[in-house]
Amino acid sequence: MPEAQYDARAEAAFNAMGDPIRRRILERLRDGPSPVGALAAGLPVGRPAVSKHLKVLEGAGLVEHRSHGTRNLYALAPDGLAPLQRWLVGVWDTALLAFADRVAARRPIDTERTAP
């Protein structure tokens, strides 16, 4: 089966999402922009650790921030997950094509049958 085309942005995003805290942060950002303190609430790590995780997510293109008064608000980057989606679609399409080829190869061709 051919390998999915390498995409540095997808690689960076997958690496960033390898940490469960970072995945929880992304899940919390689904509801909209949030300050670090609100993101840290309920997580097993403190605000400084959440800030470090946000830097990694931002570096991977998954999160962006903007200043709002005296605090930074973090939000999902609009196109941040697009490289992951493209990678997953490529892998899935390749797997489905291989499955279809396998099914077609196992299906006997009925050459003696004629149409009524």
Number of DSSP helices (H) and strands (E) in the chain, helices first: 5, 3
> Taking Cα atoms as reference points, which of 116, 7, 13, 94 lies closest to residue 56?
13
Mean pLDDT score of the chain: 86
Beta strands in the chain (DSSP E): 34-35, 63-68, 71-76
CA dist., res. 8 & res. 105, Å (int): 36
What's residue 1's pLDDT?
A: 33
**Which residues, in sequence order, are bridge partners of residue 64?**
75
Domains defined for the chain, CATH in brackets? 8-105 (1.10.10.10)
Q: How far apart are CA 12 and CA 102, in angstroms?
A: 33
Strand locations in 8-60 (E): 34-35
Quote the CA–CA distance of 75 and 62 in Å, as a whole number.
9
CA-based Rg of the chain, rounded to a whole angstrom?
Answer: 22
pLDDT digits (tens, 9 = 90+) for 68-80: 788 889 999 989 9
Q: Residue 101's pLDDT is what?
A: 78
pLDDT digits (tens, 9 = 90+) for 9-62: 889 999 999 999 999 999 999 999 999 999 999 899 999 999 999 999 999 999
